[in-house]
Structure 1
Amino acid sequence: MKATCILPLLLLLTGGSTKPKEDILEWWEETIVYQIYPRSFKDSDGDGIGDLNGITSKLNYIHELGVGAIWLSPIFQSPMYDFGYDISDFYAIHDEYGTMEDFVTLVNKANEFGIKVILDLVPNHTSNESMWFQEALKGNEKYYNYFVWDDGIIDENGNRQPPNNWLSHFRGSAWEYREEVGQYYLHQFVIGQPDLNYRNPDVVDEMKNVIRFWLNKGIAGFRIDAVNCLFEVDKQLFGGVYPDEPIAIGNDGDPGSHSYLDHIYTKDQNETYYMVYQWRDVIEEFRADDGMPRLLMSEVYASIQDVVRYFGEGEIKGVQMPFNFDLITDVDDSSSANDIKRAIDKFMTYKPIDQNANWVVGNHDQSRMATRYGSSLVDGINMIVLLLPGIGVTYMGEELGMVDGYVSWEDTVDPAGCNTNDPINYVKTSRDPARTPFQWSAEKNAGFSTADKTWLPVATGYDTLNAESQNNSRISHLKVYQALNELRKSKVFRHGRYESLALNNDVFAFRRWYKSHIYVVIVNMRQTEHTVDLTYFENVSGNLKVAIVNIQSDKVIGQKFKATSVPVSAYESMVLKVD
């Protein structure tokens, strides 16, 4: 079926520029941030678990992608209840991943490739096996005050109960009783992750020391995990009692689920922003010493108004990059071109005019981009991420179109899935499918490991969907990704302005221009063919020349089309240059 575009449905009224003029860009504004989940990237020693030396061995691959910064999910010492997000020692490398010497080697080798290393900072909580928590259980007052404790309440039957109805992200009460102390401790995540008490100045100083320790190791910044959970409400405002949280409107009907409550007392507290601003001050100390700017990124699932507060307030600086998850939370394969435009425009509208946008379509906590949008849109979504104004973020494997792997109930290890105790519906909450090993080749275990059994099973289909085969192919997702990365180095995409259109329900398009140079990117979200008129964009007329196309396209690089009638095939994505 063919349809002809008559009028664009939505028009961005103002060109979206990330900078008012052609400023000198910071390093993170000129590259892609590539997320590596170390446990699943590359195993160097045959134990079935990815490690630091494995990452080092693949730096050339990352360099050839055109990536200039890698962000590593947690590599700190941990009992691995939550696979590194439960940290027992913030100053040490987890044994399975290697040694401090291995880490220093990784940083040094990365620098040789021009690749900067960013670490995951997990400041909200520690592990219940940490020295800090163990000392708290022994009655050490200093470390007791590192955590959030409460006596709980005695019910009408004389039984001790948690202080209130607060729920963990991983189901059930957010409070756990310890006989050694005779109190409950708060854990907004798994039981083995006691929350740190940021109303205690000692905790504030400790985390600043953690930041300084790793910056001194040569890293280029941090991604801050679960930052909007740092503070819970001050119970002194409620007579010394932590109040219940209200039931969420439109909840899922499951009283044990985190989404059952509206978390007005445990998330997005005002003090959180000012704590983050203090961490920015710490990284600025290092810039003052050596002149190199460091990057802070924050993970925040919150309203757009709360997300952009992390940029800072007035003269107070915050993170340079609060993650924009709108292309994860707001849209998927069922979305129209209008929906895509709205999701993109939202962040562009709310961010401060002098700050950068950023584009994220996947991570270790979410179903993979190719699964959520469909494999036919892999190149189109990468065009959006890499060619919109701002910072592009890629979760490992998105450049290949890797999809979620199947992980059986028996093989499931993610606490988000295991805690359901449901062998049928665990897949709805388990994050394991997005964490299956990276697919390097058609060899055993996709070239990830020589082990007989890997920590998670390799996804099926790796014999054809892998980095080696795509690198050796003339046309592949990998080759498209590399071409996009090369194109985004031009002034049009580094400094140029932007506007977007939903040409109809199916076709989303945006224009990037710098002086007389103009490009138009088209993404067809559906299987329907269209002929579109791109002269609805200002200064787009005459002929347009094909610069990049997705792997399904039958168009040829250099082929020309009239701006008034560009044919767009089913699920076709392309980058066109005004001739």
Structure 2
Amino acid sequence: MTVDIHSSTAAVPEAANENSLNEHCQVKSKVGHVAKFQCENEDQISNDDELYPKSSSGIFQISFQQFKQIPEFIPLTKAELKSFINNPYWRKIRLLIGIFYVFFIILLLLGSIMLIIFSTKCSSKSPLKWYEKDLIYEVDLQMFSDSDADGQGDLNGFLSKFDYLQKYSLKTFLFRPTIFQQKNHLDFLKLNSNILNQTFFDSFIKLIHRKDMNVILDLPLSSTNDLNGTFWYGFNQSLPMQINNPCNQGEESLGCRYWKSSERLPLDFNEKQVKEQAENRIRYWLLSKNVDGIRIDLPLQFNQQTNLYEISSETISQWNLIKYQIEKQTKTKLILFDIPFDLLDFIKQNDFHNEIIYPILDKSSSIIKAKQIDEQIDSFHSNHRSLPKFWKFGSLRLKEQIQTNLSKEIQLTMTMLFPGTPIILYGEELSLDYNRNRLMLWTSDLPSGGFSSCLTDDCQRLFHLYEINPLKTNVKRQEATDGNVEESFLKYFSYLTKLRQENSFRYGLFEKGFSEKFNLFWFIRELSGQRGYLILFNLNKKEEKLIHLSLYELTNQLIPLSISYEYQWPKNSFSLYQNQTHINSDNLFISSKQSIFIFSWKVKLIKPETLFQKAKLYLVD
């Protein structure tokens, strides 16, 4: 056997094993540029070492004498391509492929539509209206701030405190009727020139809207303060019929309780003249002057057959219709109904339930228990109503003395963190008592606490009519407490204002409960995908001993075992958890006297709605 070994830099052809480059030899193996050949008429030698003796380098290079010519690739001509295009066979193939592609796209589209229709819907956050975003700050401009030293507050004084209003996120203002001209009689059209004039008010409304703020006017169009029952706001015209004493029909009648609660006589909305004048003023302020909303007292009508007053549902519907017509030309408007506490049990209609301002607590008893609060909330559901959209402490039209065993901190927390929009009276953020002091106190300066620089005898007499003690509390003092919230009601108000901006308080569900044994009331605010919160109230007035409880069991396992501490009032009552990041909700100690605890937890893996629903079904079983 002979072996030809040649050197070459060319690569070994792919078909070298089939056609040897040497006529009488075949390739035995190849690696890169190296190949072994087996020639004819030679005995095959299995010992490669004998066949290929090693060179000194151990590498042999084989040179190929000739290469096999690979046929050149010749593409189809244009004529040949056209012949295939017009070929009936290929036309059918292309048509079938096109039909299949279109059918596949249609199937994908139908599948997507079916998936959207039948898939589980995620809870979406509906956009909030302007009056649902922020609290409503009720202001008496005459008592807020005096800019011209005449002893009366005015709109310029209000504007001078704009930094204060913005600092505490106050964006919606409810102006009391003192802004209207009070001489002779109140007509709810002319403004009090000592407080503001019409031109200034128009500019003020434009400024407010540029700052994304809103103004609501208090218009008691359903009653008159003329106790003789003759004069009213209708252009100096006497009423068609004098209003008789409503209590002639009985002390418990609607008309009598209306008069006693508000000290105003109800107008009869059966009278065409009364209806027209009220509607004119609604259109004037909502449309012509572009205010954002109005607050009205409850309209009544006199039933000639029963000789009793009753709620005028027709009037309420007509006012709402006017509002809807105005909204087509402007933005969303608001009509609120201010109803005395004593009259809430007369409200049977559900059509204007969401426009009523409800008290945060039941005022029928001075001693409030946790069970009473729970039952008050349940009463809305039992009457097939949703929770109120608006909450209040009280109304300045009322002469009721609101006496309760609960601290103002507890009442404020419920008002601010319940679902709905809170209405806060000016000075309530300082814990001022309106029945004693109607002036807003800004500094510790005597005699008016920074309200006015007026030094005349008339001003001094006016200031001494109120039990003013600016040394005890004022805005400047409460802002300078270095974060000691127990001494600063204003700082606590600021904390709650920021907390209610969380999505769980804006959009989240509301679950509540109570412990009759410990007199504890609690509620949960939580939104899917957001941090959850539990607010716990201890309503006991006296401190006896620490309460040991399991929040995990108290809330029927609606909260996780591991929770975080957020806030506690009062600060110095019991500070066991203030420095702890994670707390075991199954093993808690809390103060036995009136206190507030706020806890939170991380986002749950299961939707809160699903979890709470399963927990309720478990309790029923």
TM-score (norm 1): 0.69
2:564 corresponds in structure 1 to: 545
After superposition, the C-alpha distances for 1:447-478 in whole angstroms (9 at most, x for unaligned) are 12223243664434431311121122212221
Counterpart of 1:345, as a letter, is D
| 1:447 maps to 2:447 | no
Q: Which amino acid aligns with 1:496?
A: G
Larger relative contact order, structure 1 or 2 (CA cutoff 8 Å, min sep 6): 1
Q: SS where residue 107 of structure 1 aligns?
A: helix
Q: Describe the SS at the equivalent of 1:441.
A: coil
Query: Structure 1 residue 211: deviation in Å?
Result: 0.9
C-alpha displacement of 1:65: 1.8
- Looking at structure 1, the residues matched to 465 and 231 of structure 2 have their Cα atoms a distance apart, in angstroms, of 34
Deviation for aligned residue 1:208 = 1.1
Residue 34 in 1 paired to residue 34 in 2?
A: no
| Partner Cα distance (2:265, 2:399) in 1 | 27
Which residue does the alignment assign to 2:164? 61
- Aligned AA (2:363): T
Code of the residue aligned with 1:568 in structure 2: it is I
1:363 equivalent in structure 2: 395
Residue of 241, 245, 253 corresponding to 1:148: 241
Return the match for 1:521 from 535, 541, 559.
535
Query: Is 2:520 the counterpart of 1:507?
Result: yes
CA contact (8 A) 2:261 2:398 kept: no
Question: Counterparts of 1:351 and 1:389 in 2: how far apart (Å)?
Answer: 17
Name which of 218, 230, 234 aligns with 2:290: 218
Instruction: Give the distance between the partners of 1:36 and 1:206, measured in 2 at CA.
Output: 26
Deviation at 1:120, TM superposition (A): 0.6
- Are 1:101 and 2:199 matched, yes or no? yes
Match among 336, 343, 352 for residue 297 of structure 1: 336
Shift of 1:280: 1.1
State the distance in 2 between where 1:134 and 1:492 align.
46
Residues 427 and 440, structure 2, Cα contact 8 Å, conserved in 1: yes
Q: Report the CA distance shift for 1:135/1:571 in structure 2 as closer, same or farther (over 3 A).
A: closer
Is the contact between residue 140 and residue 176 of structure 2 (CA under 8 Å) also seen in structure 1? yes
- What are the Cα deviations for residues 418-466 of structure 1, in whole angstroms up to 9, with x where unaligned? xxxxxxxxxxxxxx43x52122221121112223243664434431311
After superposition, where does 1:328-343 map in structure 2 within 5 Å? 329-330=363-364, 332=366, 334-343=367-376
Q: Is the 8 A contact 1:531 1:565 kept in 2?
A: yes
Quick one: distance in 1 between partners of 2:495 and 2:567?
A: 7
2:301 corresponding residue in structure 1: 231
How do 1:249-268 residues align onto structure 2 when only pairs under 5 Å count?
Answer: 265-266=308-309
2:72 aligned residue: none
C-alpha separation in 2, matches of 1:218 and 1:36:
19
Provide the secondary structure at the position in 2 that maps to 1:224.
strand
Decide which of 248, 273, 281 is 1:165's aligned counterpart.
248
Secondary structure, counterpart of 2:329 in structure 1 = helix
Report SS of the residue matched to 1:93. Answer: coil
Q: Does the aligned pair in 2 maintain the 1:337–1:502 contact within 8 Å?
A: yes
The amino acid that maps onto 1:357 is: K
Write out the 4+ residue segments of structure 1 that deviate beyond 6 Å after TM superposition.
Answer: 134-138, 189-194
The structure having more radius of gyration, on CA atoms, is: 2
1:121 corresponds to 2:219: yes
Match of 2:359 in 1: 325
Change (3 A) 1:573 1:127: closer
* TM-score for both structures, normalised by structure 2: 0.65
Structure 1 residues 500, 21: closer, same or farther in 2, change over 3 A?
Answer: same
Is contact 1:324-1:347 (8 Å) kept?
Answer: no
Q: In 1, are the aligned partners of 2:358 and 2:391 still within 8 Å (CA)? A: yes
The CA deviation at 1:294 is: 0.8
Once the two structures are TM-superposed, the CA of residue 222 in structure 1 deviates from its matched residue by: 0.9
CA contact (8 A) 1:168 1:188 kept: no
Corresponding residue of 2:403: 372
Where structure 1 has 5 or more consecutive residues not aligned to the other structure, the ranges are: 1-19, 81-85, 153-161, 175-186, 244-264, 313-317, 405-431
Displacement of 1:293: 0.8
Question: Number of residues paired by the alignment?
Answer: 454
Tell me whether 1:574 sits opposite 2:604 in the alignment.
Answer: no
Which residue in the other structure is 1:478 paired with? Answer: 490
2:411 equivalent among 378, 381, 385: 381
Structure 1 residues 119, 573: closer, same or farther in 2, change over 3 A? same
Instruction: Read off the aligned partner of 2:403 and give its amino acid letter.
Output: R
Please, what is the CA RMSD of the aligned residues?
3.7
1:278 to 1:446, Cα distance in 2 relative to 1, 3 A: same
Q: Secondary structure at the match of 1:468?
A: helix
1:428-447 aligned at under 5 Å gives the runs 432-433=435-436, 436-444=438-446, 445-447=448-450
Match of 2:583 in 1: 561
- Between the aligned partners of 2:246 and 2:343, the Cα distance in structure 1 is 28
User: 2:74 maps to which residue?
Assistant: none
Output one character per residue of 1:323-352: Cα deviation in whole Å (capped at 9) or x when no partner. Answer: 1125152454x2122222223333455463
Q: Which residue of 2 aligns with 1:277?
A: 317
Q: Find the aligned partners of 1:511 and 1:57 in 2 and give their Cα distance.
A: 39
Distance 2:364 2:246 in 1: 35
Deviation of the 1:202 alpha carbon: 3.0
Please list every run of 5 or more consecutive structure 2 residues that lacks an aligned counterpart in the other structure. 1-122, 455-459, 603-621
